[in-house]
Structure 1
Amino acid sequence: MVSEQTGLVGLQAAVMEPEICRGMILLNISLRMLHIKKQPWYGRPLIRSFQNLLRNTAAGKLFYKMVATSESVRNILCQCYNDTSQVTEELVEKILQPGLETGAADVFLEFICYSGGPLPEELLPQVKCPVLIAWGDKDPWEPIELGRAYGNFDSVEDFIVLPNVGHCPQDEAPHLVNPLVESFVTRHATPPASVSAASLYSSN
């Protein structure tokens, strides 16, 4: 089960090494709206300049210092969680602590400045295993109206709407997500008869 940007990594792995993947669940996968192919032509120079500013000057580290605080993390989570009561102090600290480690700023800046690579709509047609997509209908960052198109690919066995759920369904609504995971695993855990014991061993 993968979500947001990790969903792209999972899709890429399933395309490059199909033998390691029997199925995949994607949760609110990133639409990659800042990808170079989705940027309006007139906005590309400005976006590129802003990304270069963050990546190559002290402005990026200053920006990250402003973001990597308990208050900022809490505010961001309250934007993406529809049920803000789920944004607890424990959650804020669990998300903040890795961001205070050495090198975290560089990772963050590379993440927000990256506009290349494959798009989900380019990878999904290449995936050979079944894919289940679930999407919180209150996601403010990855609008479900745009995400629904992913349900049209042959590899996608179902597109499930999670009502009144924001950007992080696995955290905000585990009571909705966990049954989907259990059902999906039950359906696809048994390998095809043609898969040998040796190949099973190498893929686990």
Structure 2
Amino acid sequence: MAKFYPELTESLQQFIAEQHIFFTATAPTNGRVNLSPKGINTFRVLTPQTVAYLDLTGSGNESSAHLIENGRMTIMFCSFQDAPLILRLYGKGQVIRPGDEAWQDLLSGFPMLPGTRQLVTLAIASVQTSCGLGVPVYDFVSDRSSLIDWATHKGSEGLQEYWRVKNQVSIDGLPTHLLREP
């Protein structure tokens, strides 16, 4: 049975800390829904009502474009081990980029990873748990190093060029403002 909470309880914060993967969902007013898996120890609970993740360079930048347009975001965790549980965080997301006022303060709580392009925060409107009885049991083996290796190989200039070519607009043509001047 689903339960709703106004914020993250201590036990839900502990559950989040134990997870190796989370999923982000955003959607523009008109266009495609984006659902992305994330990992590599990039998620942090800042307060019981605010969370953030370090957004690494990817093939697209859909979440950024959607959040600029309307801010709607859901983040989901699910237990693949032990007791089943699905945890959804609903709220208003915001993209923080290098040069933004909050960048340095927020960045200090995350690992320094090659390919970091922005931070995403979520002001939680509500938290929902549900049973997760249909989620299979999986064993975590390790994080993949491929994304970090790729970003390291690209280097700073190569990443800037990649962002310019691949991460400036969403697949629906919405701007991401990734390379805007601060």
Please state which band the TM-score falls in when normalised by the shorter chain: under 0.3
Higher strand share: 2
> TM-score, normalised to structure 2's length?
0.22
